């Protein structure tokens, strides 16, 4: 077994030009989100690529023009050996016209040992390396004992959770690796949830009545929803500071759990007292918390503030949490993910990393979020492991180191081989 694996590892080095060309081919597919609805051609390429390698293909639309692709390579002894999901998203960050790239973002170039192009780091590099690993296994005629499931999903950049749709469709395994940007660290992540807090008056007033509702003896029970939202925002800041003092998680700077007042909308016209105000917030929380938990904490805190205010007591804030798309309904959820360093798959991935890089594997946490939390949410042990540095993701002249891409491909190839040769009793 070891001789076969070493032969494949050597192939990665010897055929690195093919690996680079595969990544460049993926980058040429223009799949920015937003605007999204543009991944059909790229996903069909991946579907055909996997089908040629013996995978059974499931391809279905999540949105028109944005299909998921899942390839299943059944193991020859599926019942007795471990199964694995390799997961990555095909969409990339948007590109604005004002950005000054050294070349067209979707015409990749190689410069100073890196591939430059939108998605190189986040995360077509991870997809390319994993796809190339499946190609090498296929060409060598290696039949894995355990199942290998390859998921190329849509929507990660805009919270559309193609990975969640895979989970809903019933795809599961003993372990999942999200091959997203992690600088070759094995990572968990905190979570993110967006929410809308709405203050709405039961009555609407002309702006000329303002004196009667704010000065002594006016006797008009009314208020500006915008001004009352200021009290809500102050309450959110108080809770955020409380969290920073009372909550922590290894690997994160204190206060990483934040409540960001991102967008505010309110009022209808200068001749009216504002009768409605909406605040869009983004909440970051730690890996050992759930979005249900943190949203409940926020609601309880804000409602206690409302109870202490005579007008808000009669016009309490309304909460809307999450959403399935930042494009369709202006909301998203990224569940958190804790990595169990003692899990056999994590141990196998660490050994694969150390055997290739001759350095200790790091098990840590991501400062960003990925689709990995959806696996944890549905009971599938998972970790994030991929090439690329986070400061390159979404950046002008986004790039990935070729040296790191090669190392990653060797590691993911080794891990696939080893884990899918692990017996269920292990």
Q: Examine the domain organization and report whether 152 and 197 are in the same domain.
A: no
What is the spatial distance between Cα 247 and Cα 311, in angstroms, rounded to a whole number? 32
Indicate the DSSP class of residue 156: G
Q: Examine the domain organization and report whether 210 and 313 are in the same domain.
A: yes
91 is catalytic: yes
Which of 264, 292, 321 corresponds to the end of one domain?
321
193: part of which helix (H) or strand (E)?
strand 191-200
Answer whether residue 365 shows pLDDT above 80.
yes
Instruction: Calculate the average pLDDT of the chain.
Output: 97
Answer whether residue 263 shows pLDDT above 60.
yes
Interval 294-321 mean pLDDT: 98
- pLDDT tens per residue across span 138-187: 999 999 999 999 999 999 999 999 999 999 999 999 999 999 999 999 99
* Catalytic hit among 91, 275, 332, 338: 91
Q: How confident is the model at residue 426 (pLDDT cuts 50, 70, 90)?
A: low
Q: How confident is the model at residue 43 (pLDDT cuts 50, 70, 90)?
A: very high
Interval 307-332 mean pLDDT: 97
Find the domain containing 263 and state its range: 191-321
Give the residue ranges of DSSP H helices in 161-215: 162-168, 210-214
Answer whether residue 68 shows pLDDT above 60.
yes
Q: How confident is the model at residue 3 (pLDDT cuts 50, 70, 90)?
A: confident
Q: Examine the domain organization and report whether 210 and 161 are in the same domain.
A: no
Q: Examine the domain organization and report whether 149 and 126 are in the same domain.
A: yes
Q: Examine the domain organization and report whether 31 and 160 are in the same domain.
A: yes
332 is catalytic: no
- Quote the number of domains for the chain: 2
Q: How confident is the model at residue 192 (pLDDT cuts 50, 70, 90)?
A: very high
Answer whether residue 422 shows pLDDT above 90.
yes
Interval 361-388 mean pLDDT: 97
Please name the residues in contact with 310: beta carbons below 8 A apart, sequence gap of 6 or more: none
- Rounded to two decimals, what is the model's pTM? 0.95
Which of 321, 352, 372 corresponds to the end of one domain?
321
Q: Examine the domain organization and report whether 215 and 88 are in the same domain.
A: no
Give whole-number Cα distances, 106 to 23, 24, 124, 244, in Å. 11, 9, 12, 41
> In the prediction, which pLDDT does 399 show?
98
Q: Examine the domain organization and report whether 32 and 167 are in the same domain.
A: yes
Q: Examine the domain organization and report whether 234 and 360 are in the same domain.
A: no
Q: Examine the domain organization and report whether 229 and 349 are in the same domain.
A: no
Answer whether residue 54 shows pLDDT above 60.
yes
* Catalytic hit among 66, 156, 240, 289: 156
Answer whether residue 376 shows pLDDT above 70.
yes
Check: CB of residue 192 under 8 Å from CB of residue 282.
Answer: yes
Answer whether residue 216 shows pLDDT above 90.
no
> In the prediction, which pLDDT does 387 show?
98
Q: In the structure encoding, which two tokens stand for residue 213, read together?
A: 């509702």
> In the prediction, which pLDDT does 425 show?
77
Indicate the DSSP class of residue 414: H
CATH of the domain at 389: 3.40.630.10
Q: Examine the domain organization and report whether 220 and 316 are in the same domain.
A: yes
């Amino acid at each position: 077994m070891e001789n076969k694996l070493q032969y494949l590892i050597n192939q990665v080095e010897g055929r690195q030009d093919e690996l680079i060309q595969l990544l460049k081919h993926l980058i040429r597919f223009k799949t920015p989100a937003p605007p999204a609805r543009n991944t059909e051609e790229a996903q069909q390429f991946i579907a055909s690529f996997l089908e040629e390698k013996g995978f059974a293909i499931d391809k279905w639309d999540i949105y028109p023009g944005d299909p998921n692709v899942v390839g299943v390579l059944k193991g020859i002894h599926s019942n007795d050996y471990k199964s694995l999901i390799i997961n990555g998203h095909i969409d990339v960050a948007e590109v604005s016209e004002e950005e000054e790239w050294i070349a067209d973002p979707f015409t990749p170039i190689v410069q100073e040992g890196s591939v430059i192009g939108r998605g190189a780091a986040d995360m077509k590099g991870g997809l390319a390396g994993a796809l190339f690993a499946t190609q090498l296994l296929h060409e060598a005629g290696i039949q894995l004992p355990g199942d290998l499931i390859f998921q190329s999903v849509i929507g990660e950049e805009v919270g559309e959770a193609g990975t969640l749709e895979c989970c809903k469709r019933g795809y599961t395994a003993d372990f999942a690796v999200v091959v997203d940007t992690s600088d070759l660290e094995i990572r968990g992540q905190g979570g993110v949830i967006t929410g809308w807090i709405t203050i709405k008056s039961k009555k609407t007033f002309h702006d000329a009545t303002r004196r009667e509702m704010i000065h002594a003896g006016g006797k008009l029970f009314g208020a500006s929803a915008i001004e009352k939202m200021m009290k809500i925002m102050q309450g959110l800041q108080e809770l955020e500071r409380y969290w920073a003092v009372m909550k922590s998680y290894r690997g994160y700077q204190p206060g990483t759990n934040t409540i960001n007042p991102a967008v505010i909308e309110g009022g209808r016209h200068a001749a009216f007292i504002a009768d409605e105000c909406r605040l869009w917030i983004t909440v970051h929380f730690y890996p050992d918390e759930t979005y249900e938990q943190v949203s409940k904490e926020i609601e309880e805190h804000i409602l206690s503030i409302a109870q202490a205010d005579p007008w808000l007591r009669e016009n309490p804030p309304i909460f809307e949490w999450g959403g399935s798309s930042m494009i369709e309904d202006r909301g998203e959820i990224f569940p958190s993910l804790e990595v169990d360093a003692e899990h056999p798959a994590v141990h196998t991935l660490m050994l694969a990393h150390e055997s290739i890089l001759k350095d200790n594997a790091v098990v840590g946490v991501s400062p960003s979020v990925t689709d990995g939390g959806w696996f944890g949410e549905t009971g599938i042990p998972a970790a994030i492991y991929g090439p690329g540095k986070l400061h390159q993701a979404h950046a002008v002249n986004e790039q990935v180191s070729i040296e790191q891409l090669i190392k990653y491909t060797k590691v993911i190839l080794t891990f696939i081989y080893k884990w899918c040769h692990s017996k269920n009793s292990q």
